[in-house]
Structure 1
Amino acid sequence: MSTRAMAQQLSLITLGVADLAVTHAFYADGLGWAPTLYVPGEVLFLQVGPGMLLSLWSRAEMDAEAGATAPAVGRDGSAPVTLGHLTGSPADVDAVLAAAAAAGGAVLRPGGRRDWGGYSGYFTDPDGFRWEVAHNPGFVVAPDGSVRIGTVSNGPGE
């Protein structure tokens, strides 16, 4: 019998945002993501994968219900969290970064080859939440959005 009190799953990521209308404009209008539920001034839910919702909640509403928290910030002042979006190719990484910039996001780092063998870049949304957009040749993304980790090759001489 397992002593685990909580199933190993993540169903909902909730981010507190300053201005929900600006957030809606970025994700729905700018990136073209389809809202699952939008309550202006309160919350925006986006289905981001099988069994996974991204909740963008008014920071005032979040603080009122859950209590205010001090922001967890890194040395550079940003939250030490990165959300990830996997793509099928390096060209797709560049296209997503361009779409994020056109929607009002800030590209922190353009797409480029990384030491870990893939290609990635970074942008922030209007609230400063950092997104990594990556093509990892060792990850296989199925049409339903599920991810399988395959064989990773570090090149000749591994």
Structure 2
Amino acid sequence: MDQALHMLMVPAGDIAALRKFYVDDLGWHTWGPDMPGSLMLRAGTVVIVFVPRDYLAAESGIDLSATPRAVNAIFVETKADVDAQFAGAIAAGATITSPIRDRDGGLYSGYFADPDGNGWEIVWSPAMRPGADGGLTLALPQTD
């Protein structure tokens, strides 16, 4: 699958305005579980997750002082894939910012910063599967 997803750190108060713009004005669909204070969206194969800055900074361990700031997530098919890709990134010069562990919602992931300072998460979720269109699908109902 190796589907990339883009997480953007935003002030918590901006989530309502982002929902209005993407869902009401552009017609994107909300996607995934309803996470208070966050917004998960999908249009075709593009997935964007807006998360509050404090949450993403605490989870990733990456310096996220700029607003907005992105952390790239790569979803893989197995926990073993998480371990292998994470180890490969560290061997190539990345720095661990938050070690691999089981996280909220059944996620298994770890965060690192590449040599250029970009933030990355390698993640596996039992609810995510590759879809027929090549995008990610969730084994949960899509909401609007």
Given the two structures, how large is their TM-score scaled by the length of structure 2?
0.49
Q: Which has the higher contact order (CA 8 A, sep 6+)?
A: 2
Given the two structures, how large is their TM-score scaled by the length of structure 1?
0.45
Q: Which has the larger radius of gyration?
A: 1
Higher helix share: 2
